[in-house]
């Protein structure tokens, strides 16, 4: 997911990795180090925090060595360098040393912007490492991880993995690696469910998402998986209620309002506004009312008002999915 600009050569004299996504920043460094060691196995790597780079330190590190070895100098949190050290680095950017690759990791904000601008002006190779706050970005990341391994995963499997793991890119990358190592052939949603949807919260919301999207068969499959892994039925009815109420809230919100304003008004995180907008297409007020009645009946059924809690949940899921499908006609 890290995007490169200017040049794709990891052995460019200066690489500028910009952003706050730690996994992508680390990968930018690893790529440079790997390329340097492929060219020279004895490459010397210096990985420095801002307080370790004082005025004169960079010149000392870049000075020719007795053995003419290649060096990679990594400076983390470059935006926190002192003013004198930034002046030093700016001077180096104009005449970088041969056999030295300087890697500057910069958060990308206003702090230390002068160094950022100077590196760009000097033609540094740039790798963008933005924090991935949107579900769509994390979904694209998972897809790229599978592509990078040469393996195939269905769109539903990628979405299920994001739903199950959450926002931590390291965990998402690790999950992709595990699935690729353990599973042969195309990775589908059932495989992801087997490995990762045993978490009660995740499983219940997966049921709700599939139901409000009108995907009855998938919702029922997710429901049976959740029940078989011990998810309490009350959590599932709660997730169903939350999913339908979110659609009702957003449907009655002012049109044209910005996601951030809606998030504050409706008490939802901004990423959820985007998801609910996709789910609510075509839903009507009558459909929401029908779905809420079905959830109320299911809630009573799982709390002792019926003989078969699982059947009560299945009935509610089918009713909600039917209401969603009817609304989409």
The pLDDT assigned to 86 comes to 95
CATH of the domain at 280: 1.20.272.10
Number of domains forming the structure of the chain? 3
Strands across the sheet containing 71-75: 3-5, 125-129, 14-19, 100-106, 71-75, 44-48
Backbone angles phi, psi at 83, to 5 degrees: -60, -40
pLDDT of 4: 41
Domain final residue, candidates 178, 197, 216: 197
Handedness of CA 117, 120, 124, 129 (dihedral sign): positive
pLDDT in tens, 147-203: 999 999 999 899 888 877 777 788 888 889 888 988 899 999 888 877 775 554 556
Dist CA 135 CA 141 (whole Å): 10
Residue 329 lies in a domain: no
CATH, residue 49: 3.40.50.300
Regions of the chain with pLDDT less than 70: 1-7, 65-68, 197-203, 254-261, 263-264, 268-271, 305-306, 325-329
Q: Can you list the alpha helix ranges (DSSP code H) found in 1-134?
A: 22-39, 57-62, 83-94, 113-121
Q: Give helix then strand counts, H and E, for the chain.
A: 15, 6
Same domain, 258 and 277: yes
Query: Which pLDDT value is given to residue 3?
Result: 41
- pLDDT of 160: 84
Per the structure block, which two tokens stand in for 279? 């789910």
Domain that holds residue 139: 135-197
Question: Last residue of some domain: 197, 214, 244?
Answer: 197
Q: What is the pLDDT of residue 206?
A: 83
pLDDT at residue 114, rounded to an integer: 95
Residue 78 carries which DSSP code?
Answer: G
The answer on 212 and 320 residing in a single domain is yes
Q: Does a structural domain hold residue 5?
A: no
Distance, in Å, from the CA atom of 289 to the CA atom of 74, rounded to the nearest integer, reads: 59
Does this model's pTM top 0.75? no
């Amino acid at each position: 997911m890290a995007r490169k600009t200017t040049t794709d050569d990891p052995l460019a004299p200066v690489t500028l990795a910009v952003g706050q996504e730690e996994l992508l920043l680390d990968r930018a460094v690893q790529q440079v180090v790997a390329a340097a060691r492929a060219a020279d196995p004895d490459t010397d790597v210096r990985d420095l925090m801002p307080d370790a780079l004082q005025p004169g330190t960079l010149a000392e590190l870049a000075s020719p060595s007795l053995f003419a070895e290649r060096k990679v100098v990594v400076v983390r949190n470059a935006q926190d360098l002192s003013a004198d050290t930034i002046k030093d680095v700016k001077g180096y950017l104009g005449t970088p040393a041969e056999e030295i690759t300087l890697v500057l990791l910069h958060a990308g904000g206003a702090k230390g912007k002068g160094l950022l601008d100077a590196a760009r002006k000097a033609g540094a190779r740039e790798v963008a490492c933005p924090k991935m706050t949107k579900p769509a970005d994390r979904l694209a990341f998972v897809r790229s991880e599978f592509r990078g391994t040469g393996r195939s995963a269905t769109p539903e499997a990628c979405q299920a993995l994001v739903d199950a793991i959450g926002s931590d890119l390291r965990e998402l990358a690790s999950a992709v690696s595990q699935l690729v190592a353990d599973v042969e052939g195309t990775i589908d949603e059932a495989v992801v469910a087997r490995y990762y949807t045993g978490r009660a919260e995740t499983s219940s919301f997966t049921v709700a998402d599939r139901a409000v999207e009108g995907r009855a068969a998938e919702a029922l499959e997710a429901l049976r998986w959740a029940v078989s892994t011990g998810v309490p039925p009350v959590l599932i009815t709660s997730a169903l209620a939350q999913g339908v109420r979110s659609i009702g809230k957003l449907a009655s919100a002012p049109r044209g309002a910005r996601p951030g304003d809606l998030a504050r008004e409706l008490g939802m995180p901004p990423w959820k506004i985007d998801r609910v907008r996709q789910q609510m297409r075509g839903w009507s007020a009558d459909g929401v009312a029908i779905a809420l009645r079905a959830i109320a009946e299911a809630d009573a059924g799982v709390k002792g008002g019926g003989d078969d809690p699982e059947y009560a949940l299945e009935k509610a899921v089918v009713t909600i999915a039917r209401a969603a499908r009817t609304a989409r006609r």
